[in-house]
A and B are shown apart, each in its own frame.
Chain A
């Protein structure tokens, strides 16, 4: 089945460690996105990519990094510079950023101890 796969679903890390969250899609979508969600809150855009080898900062990019070396893959690294990394992270994709219908993975829940 086509879809978006995020891994791991749950991740615990010590403060000061970098962590990388995986996002893979087999929908042949050009655009991919990373969102952060805090408890009881809405979604905030971290980074997005409209095409391979290109990505743009969203509203809360500080302390995060991404790469887009393959169309189907858009990993997110939460660096030690992110001051409050504990959150629920959602990856999404759309056919293109201009047509917009968005599909989401199941999310990765990161807890920093």
Chain B
């Protein structure tokens, strides 16, 4: 089956810094989604991005499907950005395959 790898596994930054999170996948996918899980466990869908680039405020994402990776950019980090960021890809059987996540800590 499709393998999904996220890097780095952990990231600690000062407030105001920028960051790039990466998601690699091993085969063609129907779509890709990025999620943020806050420290209380709530999962929020950030982007639905099978290809191309999308932006939402300080966050943007780019998926290069032909090269099998996606990047999530966070600019001017705030403490509320802390949490775990997951990417999930939809394979040919329409089921989501999840990465292990990147744990981000933003220090004030």
Contacts and interface: CB of A to CB of B under 8 A. Distances in A.
Interface of A: 37, 41-43, 45, 48, 58, 88, 90, 92, 97-98, 100-104, 106-107, 109
Interface residues of B, number: 21
Given A42-B99, A42-B100, A100 B33 contact: yes
Given A100-B48, A109-B41, A42 B96 contact: no
6 interchain residue pairs of minimum CB distance = A104-B43, A101-B48, A107-B41, A42-B98, A42-B100, A43-B98
Contact of A88 (B41, B44, B48, B101): B41
Given A42-B86, A42-B100, A43-B98, A100 B45 contact: no
Contacts of B101: 42
B98 A100 contact: no
Nearest to A45: B95
A97 B88 CA distance: 14
19 contacts: A41-B100, A42-B99, A43-B86, A45-B95, A48-B95, A88-B41, A90-B41, A97-B94, A100-B31, A100-B33, A100-B48, A100-B90, A101-B33, A102-B33, A102-B45, A104-B35, A104-B42, A106-B40, A107-B41
Interface of B: 30-31, 33, 35, 40-45, 48, 86, 88, 90, 94-96, 98-101
Contact of A90 (B30, B31, B43, B88): B43
